């Protein structure tokens, strides 16, 4: 954007068109995200430079203007022969240098038959310049070079501030790009390391990641233990413990230990690359609100052009002087620029999408995201969504005098030698309750029935109901019967062949589920559950979580039909699942939300992908969708309401009561409305 080669400079209309199309922070197709930011930063610098140069040239133009001298009480004190020509030369420099972005924008919009903001500004400054120049060359009338100069200064300042806002909205996404380190420590065949660019990494290669360094790409730890900070990628604030066999995400920050990572994904396959692509896709996807804004902007442009013509004709018809009528026309065209309207939605989109991505909420479809604000019901898959998908101890039922703690200690000691999921659940239950246990002796599996061993000198067995029945034993206790009726898995603890108690296990309900569902219900949204599990299990989970409804024993191919049934009641429905068996239901729902996608973010069936397995993120999506919509509505009302009120004033309807706007004041008001819209969009970050 060199000042000496203006034709090489990307005209401002390109920026405006990009913003109107929803690209404010997304980057153009095929263009790197970093390149898009540098493009914006370059344009910000160009507008800043043009503003300061034009402002410096404006000072003598103002000093030589007769109106300004009169207001200052100088009355021609600074006049000298040829001062009009000096003003003309200075104003010409301001017009062509400061006004160049608007003039090139006018040409581009006319060439594509899409007149808009640049057309209005370009025509306004061209009319002002041509008329004032004609006065210098002999036309009867008064020039308004000073109005032209201040108008261009203010328009440049407004664009400079506005584009800095756009750049700020883009920054959150671009910070994701900057997460990746430039190089990696590649481990060579002889065990030494060599620093290489990330582009040289191949799947299967091994890299050393030292404490405090960024992990260069997605992979698996093959040596070492550490904690990893994934906050910028998933929104998880606490470091995550990682050991051998654990997956790591490129861009996350290694903690206290050096680890060797085997490269699993490179380039566009990585989690971070997919996140950036999804955010871009979301920001570029069409939005119903944006379509409304675009249609309003087209109408406003037509109104402004027509209003300018009517204004000059009306004032000339009323006997006003030509300079006065031209000034009113220019003011109308400036103040009516649909600039704020063009930015009203895209800036909110840019902020909300980048904000969500930084918290592990990835929006793939803007329209679906907008629908999330009006949800009537959210249907959750059970396993892996509301529950953790693993066994946990829910009840310990003593039957013969031993304490619940002692019973669980004996069972956990025995089961610590087994790899069965139920055994793992018993061991985990003891550890969660801080119950210490010693390793067993003489462990032996009882095929299909359980296991036995010696613990603390006694013979302990943990067995199934089938073993109990075959041994002629019975647990006649209402607590055991209730646990079984709830669909829980019940195992029995025998000590020296005497029935001492029972342990009930079930799929562990996530602690976050209660909070998430409570918040959704407080928002007026019905919460439901869809599961293939038995009715008894579903009934227990539904009661624990106070669900409004549940559907049990539903096969994967029947889930979409259930969603359709709920929609048939006239409800707007979201489906929340793991994105695998739930794919048909996710597609059928008005909003499909894939939860717990981890590093596999490219789930085609979902509209929104939540990286973490945390149902509270569903609440966060609804909350963000509602806040985003409020900001869009506020911006649209401000942008359109401002123009509706300002155009008649600009045309001079309040002139009889002494209120008259100059083009420069009109430019101030127009720029102010744009800055307010941009600032309001940024406030979305403070919604909490």
- DSSP readout, 63-85? HH-HHHHHHTT-TTTT--TTHHH
Could you tell me if 421 and 331 lie in one domain?
A: no
Could you tell me if 125 and 199 lie in one domain?
A: no
| b/e sequence 606-633, b meaning 16+ C-beta within 10 Å | bbbbbbbbbbbbbbbbbbbbbbbbebbe
Residue with tokens 């209003």: 307
Could you tell me if 97 and 59 lie in one domain?
A: yes
The model's pTM: 0.63
Out of 474, 509, 544, a domain closes at 509
Pair type for strands 526-530 and 377-381: parallel
- Domain membership of residue 518 (yes or no) is no
| Interacting residues of 137 by C-beta distance below 8 A, sequence separation 6+ | none
pLDDT at residue 289, rounded to an integer? 58
Out of 264, 299, 323, a domain closes at 264
Could you tell me if 172 and 188 lie in one domain?
A: no
Please answer whether residues 290 and 368 qualify as being in contact, where contact means their C-beta atoms are separated by less than 8 angstroms: no
Could you tell me if 241 and 96 lie in one domain?
A: no
Could you tell me if 435 and 471 lie in one domain?
A: yes
CA 474 vs CA 452, 458, 489, 495: distances in Å: 19, 21, 16, 15
- Domain membership of residue 469 (yes or no) is yes
Please answer whether residues 203 and 266 qualify as being in contact, where contact means their C-beta atoms are separated by less than 8 angstroms: yes
pLDDT at residue 106, rounded to an integer? 86
- Domain membership of residue 198 (yes or no) is yes
What gap in Å lies between CA 597 and CA 586, rounded to an integer? 14
**What is the separation of C-alpha 4 from the centre of its chain, rounded to a whole number of angstroms?**
40
We report the CATH number of the domain holding residue 231 as: 2.70.150.10
Could you tell me if 52 and 21 lie in one domain?
A: yes
* Residue 517: φ, ψ to 5°: -70, -35
- Domain membership of residue 561 (yes or no) is no
- Domain membership of residue 628 (yes or no) is no
Q: Length of the chain, please?
A: 688
pLDDT at residue 9, rounded to an integer? 32
Could you tell me if 103 and 146 lie in one domain?
A: yes
Give the Cβ contact number of residue 398 at 10 Å: 18
- Domain membership of residue 27 (yes or no) is yes
Could you tell me if 287 and 164 lie in one domain?
A: yes
pLDDT at residue 679, rounded to an integer? 83
We report the CATH number of the domain holding residue 448 as: 3.40.1110.10
- Domain membership of residue 96 (yes or no) is yes
Nearest CA among 363, 435, 434 for reference residue 591? 363
Helices (H), 65-186: 66-71, 83-93, 100-111, 117-136, 145-177
Could you tell me if 422 and 324 lie in one domain?
A: no
Out of 509, 538, 556, a domain closes at 509
User: What's the number of domains the chain is made of?
Assistant: 3
Look up residue 181 and give its two tokens.
């380190």
Please answer whether residues 509 and 545 qualify as being in contact, where contact means their C-beta atoms are separated by less than 8 angstroms: yes
Could you tell me if 404 and 471 lie in one domain?
A: yes
- Domain membership of residue 153 (yes or no) is yes
Euclidean distance between the first and the last CA atom of the chain, given in angstroms as a whole number: 40
Nearest CA among 390, 381, 379 for reference residue 509? 390
* CB burial of residue 130 (10 Å; 0-12, 13-18, 19+): exposed
Catalytic residues: 381
pLDDT at residue 11, rounded to an integer? 33
CA 377 vs CA 57, 188, 626: distances in Å: 62, 55, 15
Give the Cβ contact number of residue 305 at 10 Å: 17
Low-confidence ranges of the chain (pLDDT < 70): 1-40, 67-71, 73, 75-77, 79, 116-117, 140-142, 158, 161-179, 231-238, 275-298, 337-343, 346, 579-581, 596-605, 664, 667, 670-671, 687-688
Could you tell me if 251 and 285 lie in one domain?
A: no
CA 346 vs CA 102, 163, 629: distances in Å: 21, 13, 12
Look up residue 158 and give its two tokens.
């407004």
| Strand order across the beta sheet in which 226-229 lies | 240-242, 226-229, 253-254
Domain that includes residue 441, residue range: 387-509
| Interacting residues of 246 by C-beta distance below 8 A, sequence separation 6+ | 220, 221
pLDDT at residue 126, rounded to an integer? 84
Torsion of CA 576, 582, 584, 587, to 10 degrees: 20
86: left (phi over 0), alpha (psi -120 to 50) or beta: alpha
| Interacting residues of 340 by C-beta distance below 8 A, sequence separation 6+ | 635, 638, 639, 642, 670, 673, 674, 676, 677
Look up residue 461 and give its two tokens.
């067995």
Nearest CA among 636, 654, 375 for reference residue 525? 375
Helices (H), 218-270: 231-234
pLDDT at residue 167, rounded to an integer? 58
């Amino acid at each position: 954007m060199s000042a000496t080669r203006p034709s090489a400079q990307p005209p401002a209309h390109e920026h405006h068109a990009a913003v109107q199309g929803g690209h404010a922070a997304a980057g153009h197709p095929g263009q790197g995200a970093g390149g898009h930011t540098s493009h914006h930063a370059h344009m910000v610098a160009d507008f800043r430079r043009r503003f300061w140069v034009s402002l410096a040239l404006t000072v003598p133009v103002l000093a030589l203007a007769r109106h300004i001298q009169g207001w200052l009480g100088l009355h021609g004190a600074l006049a000298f022969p040829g001062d009009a020509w000096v003003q003309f030369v200075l104003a010409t420099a301001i017009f062509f240098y400061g006004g160049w972005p608007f003039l090139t924008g006018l040409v581009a919009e006319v060439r594509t038959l899409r007149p808009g903001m640049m057309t209005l500004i370009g025509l306004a400054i061209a009319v002002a310049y041509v008329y004032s120049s004609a006065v210098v060359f002999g036309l009867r009338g008064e020039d308004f070079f000073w109005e032209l100069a201040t108008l261009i200064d203010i328009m440049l300042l407004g664009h400079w501030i506005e584009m800095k806002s756009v750049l700020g909205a883009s920054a959150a996404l671009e910070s994701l790009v900057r997460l990746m380190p430039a190089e990696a420590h590649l481990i060579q065949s002889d065990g030494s390391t060599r620093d290489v660019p990330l582009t040289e990494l191949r799947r299967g290669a091994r890299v050393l990641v030292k404490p405090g360094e960024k992990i260069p790409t997605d992979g698996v730890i093959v040596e070492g233990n550490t904690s990893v900070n994934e906050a910028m990628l998933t929104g998880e604030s606490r470091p995550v413990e990682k050991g051998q066999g654990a997956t790591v995400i490129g861009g996350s920050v290694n903690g206290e230990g050096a680890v060797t990572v085997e490269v699993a994904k490179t380039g566009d396959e990585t989690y971070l690359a997919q996140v950036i692509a999804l955010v871009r896709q979301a920001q570029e996807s069409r939005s119903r609100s944006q379509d409304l804004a675009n249609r309003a902007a087209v109408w406003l442009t037509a109104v402004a052009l027509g209003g300018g013509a009517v204004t000059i004709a009306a004032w000339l018809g009323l006997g006003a002087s030509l300079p006065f009528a031209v000034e009113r026309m220019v003011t109308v065209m400036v103040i009516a620029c649909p600039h704020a309207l063009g930015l009203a939605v895209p800036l909110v989109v840019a902020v909300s999408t980048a904000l969500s991505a930084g918290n592990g909420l990835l929006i793939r479809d803007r329209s679906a995201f907008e629908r999330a604000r009006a949800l009537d019901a959210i249907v959750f898959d059970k396993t892996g969504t509301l529950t953790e998908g693993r066994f946990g101890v829910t009840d310990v039922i003593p039957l013969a005098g031993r304490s619940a703690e002692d019973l669980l200690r004996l069972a956990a000691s025995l089961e610590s030698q087994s790899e069965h999921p139920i055994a793992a659940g018993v061991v985990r239950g003891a550890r969660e309750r801080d119950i210490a246990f010693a390793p067993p002796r003489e462990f032996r599996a009882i095929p299909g029935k359980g296991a036995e061993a010696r613990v603390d000198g006694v013979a302990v067995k943990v067995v199934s109901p089938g073993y109990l029945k075959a041994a002629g034993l019975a647990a006649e206790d209402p607590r055991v019967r209730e646990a079984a009726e709830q669909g829980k898995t019940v195992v029995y603890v025998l000590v020296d062949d005497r029935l001492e108690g029972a342990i009930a296990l079930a799929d562990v309900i996530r602690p976050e589920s209660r909070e998430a569902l409570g918040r959704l219900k407080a928002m007026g949204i019905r919460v439901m559950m869809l599961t293939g599990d038995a009715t008894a299990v579903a009934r227990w989970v539904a009661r624990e979580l106070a669900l409004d409804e549940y559907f049990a024993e539903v096969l994967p191919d029947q889930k979409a039909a259930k969603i359709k049934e709920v929609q048939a009641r006239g409800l707007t429905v979201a489906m929340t699942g793991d994105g695998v068996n739930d794919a048909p239901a996710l597609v059928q729902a008005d909003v499909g939300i894939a939860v717990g996608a981890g590093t596999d973010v490219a789930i085609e069936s979902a509209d929104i992908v939540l990286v973490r397995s945390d149902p509270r993120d569903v609440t966060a999506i609804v909350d963000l969708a509602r806040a985003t919509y409020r900001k869009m509505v506020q911006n649209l009302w401000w942008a359109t309401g401002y123009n509706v009120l300002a155009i008649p004033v600009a045309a001079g309807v309040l002139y009889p009561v002494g209120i008259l706007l100059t083009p420069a004041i009109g430019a101030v008001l127009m720029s102010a409305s744009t800055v307010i819209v941009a600032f309001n969009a940024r406030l979305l970050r403070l919604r909490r």
